[in-house]
Amino acid sequence: MCPVLRIVGGQPLEGELQVNGSKNAALPIIAATLLTDGEVRLKNVPDLVDVRVMLSLCRVSGMEFGYRGGDLIVRTGQIRECPTRPEAGSIRASILLAGPLLARCGHFQAPLPGGCSIGDRGIDFHIQALRMMGAQVAIGSDMIRVRTGGLHGAQVELPFPSVGATENIMMAATLAEGRTRILNAAREPEIVDLATFLNRMGAAVEGAGTSHIQIKGVEELKGAGHEVMPDRIEMGTLMAAGAITRGRLTLKRCPLNTDGEFFDKMAEMGIELSRRGSEIAVACEEHRPADIRTGPYPGFATDLQPIMAPLLSLADGESTIVEGVFDNRFNYVSELRKMGFRAEGDGRRQTIRGPTRLQGCNVVAPDIRGGASLIVAALGAEGVTNMASCQKVFRGYERIDQRLRSVGADIELMGEDDDLEG
Ligand code: EPZ
């Protein structure tokens, strides 16, 4: 039986929740551990489907891993030069193995990366940069093969500040000969977290968090310890869940200094956030319309726009969401419409009309964040929502059903499935 997430809406969420480690920081950091034969100890790694897939891909390359006191312990003593497993096709982050594997053993071969269907997700920036650094790349209809006799530094100007390409180049450059410069680099907090980890291993990365990153290649990297940053997208999702139910949630272990435009928009939408260190209390008396435009950091995170849409539909008036990163990130709109959501537009822009009383019904999660959007909508809706394909949401949110239940949500996972596609 396929699993279904059953949510009865209308229960105010009250209490405390802890924000977990970031998926999008943990995935490149796990890939980066392949750069050393030393032992790496990682704290705060979320237990997610995508993380498990990444670990199983790394194991094929020779990584051994286990857990000690909740920390992930990783060592890749002897790297194995062999093709990555077919699961590489199920997650986008599999392309992040290219940089570390090329740097460590000069070879990377894998199925073309998959991931959420949120638009055209090319890997041309990655390929172009690796070529500039001395790699030979061959792409078939479903495979990519990359080889190098030795990487060297290069000056790479990205056409768009791609998160994954910035991470891949940074990792490849750590052991390359000479200096690499990344211009128009992505500035996301997850890039800073990866650079911090690389430097802890002995790399020489400067400028992470700005558009100009410099990496001086070193002879070798050593083992290190690192705590993965908290997940800012999970934080935003839990805030939206609290706000749509007009509950009172307190979120612990929120990331610091990673807000970008997000907090200003939340205030505009009537969501009151009071911050004390890494703890944030969330309250909402009135939903207000807003105009959101997503963009590379410090712009409003594209991963959070689907999650804000149900909140905007409750507000009295017209709101707009303009998507500035992907060309098909409104695939959740057709599912929300089944619940009464009113919006018009195209793949880049949607105009949302409110106020709407959302009604529970049967929906299907289109991807991680689209599924999270439907959960938020269902928590604020009247009646029962049954969400199919809910495993997609578990790719990015650890035990989300149990955690929301612990703060008063009427939510239950029915049935089982082991489908990893998304
Ligand atoms: C990362 O994806 C995240 N994934 C995404 O999170 C996030 O939405 C995205 O960054 C933007 O913030 C991980 O970190 C694992 P990009 P990534 O390269 O690196 C185009 C989630 O829900 N592009 O910054 O794949 C691309 O098509 C996920 O957690 C090229 O054209 O994103 C897109 O329009 C989904 N060619 C734009 O750049 C390339 O070679 C930004 O993509 C690379 C990217």
CATH of the domain at 363: 3.65.10.10
Q: How far is the CA of 378 from the centre of ligand 1 (A)?
A: 27
> In ligand 1, which atom is closest to the CA atom of 50?
15
Mark whether 47 and 151 lie in a shared domain.
yes
Q: What is the pLDDT of residue 213?
A: 98
% residues pLDDT > 90 (the chain): 86
Ligand 1 centre to CA of 121 (Å) is: 7
Q: Of 146, 162, 232, which is best to mutate to test ligand 1, by the most ligand atoms within 8 angstroms of its C-beta?
A: 162
What per-residue confidence (pLDDT) applies to 87? 73
Nearest residue CA, atom 41 of ligand 1?
Answer: 162
Which tokens in the block code for residue 420? Answer: 């990893």
**Rounded mean pLDDT, 262-281:** 94
State the pLDDT at residue 141.
Answer: 81
Whether 116 shows a pLDDT value over 80: the answer reads no
C-alpha 357 to ligand 1 mean position (Å)? 33
Q: Residue 416 — very low, low, confident or very high, per pLDDT cuts 50/70/90?
A: low
Residue from 23, 160, 184, 190 to probe ligand 1 pocket by mutation (most atoms less than 8 Å from CB)? 160
**Section 359-371 average pLDDT:** 97
Same domain, 322 and 268: yes
For 370-394, what is the mean pLDDT? 97
Confidence bin at 110 (pLDDT 50/70/90): confident
The total of structural domains in the chain comes to 2
Q: What is the pLDDT of residue 93?
A: 84
CA of 36 to the centre of ligand 1 (A): 26
Q: Rounded to an integer, what distance in angstroms lies between the CA atom of residue 171 and that of residue 150?
A: 14
Could you confirm whether 116 is annotated as catalytic?
Answer: yes
Ligand 1 shell residues, CB under 6 Å: 24, 27, 92-93, 116, 119-126, 160, 162-165, 186, 302-303, 325-326, 368-369, 396
Work out the pLDDT band at 118, boundaries 50, 70, 90.
Answer: low
Question: 54 and 15 in one domain?
Answer: no
pLDDT of res. 117:
60
Which residue intervals of 252-331 are DSSP H helices?
A: 262-268, 305-314
Residue closest via CA to ligand 1's atom 43 equals 123
Q: How far, in Å, from the CA of 162 to the mean position of ligand 1?
A: 6
Q: Which ligand 1 atom lies nearest to the CA of residue 119?
A: 27
DSSP string, 172-206: HHHTSBSEEEEET----HHHHHHHHHHHHTT-EEE
Atom of ligand 1 nearest to the CA of 121: 27
Interval 96-106 mean pLDDT: 96
Please report the pLDDT score of residue 419 as a whole number: 42
The full length of the chain comes to 422
Looking at residue 94, what is its pLDDT?
A: 87
Given 191, 211, 227, which residue is the final one in a domain? 227
Do residues 123 and 136 both lie within one domain? yes
Q: What is the mean pLDDT of residues 7-36?
A: 98
Q: Whose CA is nearest to atom 28 of ligand 1?
A: 303
What is the model's pLDDT at position 111? 85
pLDDT band at 112 (very low <50, low <70, confident <90, very high): confident
Average the pLDDT over 199-222 and give the result.
98
Per the rule left: phi > 0, alpha: psi between -120 and 50, beta: everything else, 410 is beta
| Whether residue 203 is found in the same domain as residue 242 | no
Domain closes at, from 227, 242, 257: 227
- Predicted confidence at residue 268, as pLDDT, reads 96
Pair 139, 123: CB distance under 8 Å:
no
Q: Which atom of ligand 1 is nearest to the CA of 297?
A: 12
**Contacts of 45 by beta carbon, 8 Å cutoff, 6+ apart:** 21, 26, 30, 51, 71, 72, 228
Indicate whether 318 and 302 sit together in one domain.
Answer: yes
**Domain interval for residue 219:** 23-227
**Per-residue pLDDT tens digits for 50-96:** 999 999 999 999 999 999 999 999 999 999 876 667 777 777 888 99
Compute, in angstroms, the gap from residue 207 CA to the centroid of ligand 1.
20
Q: Which of 2, 58, 105, 116 is catalytic?
A: 116
Predicted confidence at residue 418, as pLDDT, reads 45
Mean pLDDT in residue range 182-204: 98
Q: Do 87 and 102 share a domain, yes or no?
A: yes
- Whole-angstrom distance, CA of residue 63 vs CA of residue 14: 42
Q: What is the best residue among 20, 22, 24 to mutate for testing ligand 1's pocket, by most ligand atoms within 8 Å of CB?
A: 24
pLDDT at site 403: 98
Same-domain check for residues 291 and 257: yes
The residue among 206, 227, 248 that closes a domain is 227
Asked if residue 313 and residue 181 are part of one domain, the reply reads: no
Q: Kindly report the protein residue whose alpha carbon is nearest to atom 30 of ligand 1.
A: 122
Contact 75, 37 (CB under 8 A): yes
CA of 315 to the centre of ligand 1 (A): 30
Kindly give the number of the ligand 1 atom that is closest to the alpha carbon of 367: 22
* Residue 27 pLDDT > 50: yes
Q: Are residues 214 and 243 in the same domain?
A: no
State whether 151 and 294 are in the same domain: no
Specify the residue with its C-alpha closest to ligand 1, atom 34: 326
User: Which atom of ligand 1 lies nearest, measured to the CA of 116?
Assistant: 35
| Same-domain pairing of 277 and 401 | yes
- Computed over every residue of the chain, the mean pLDDT equals 93
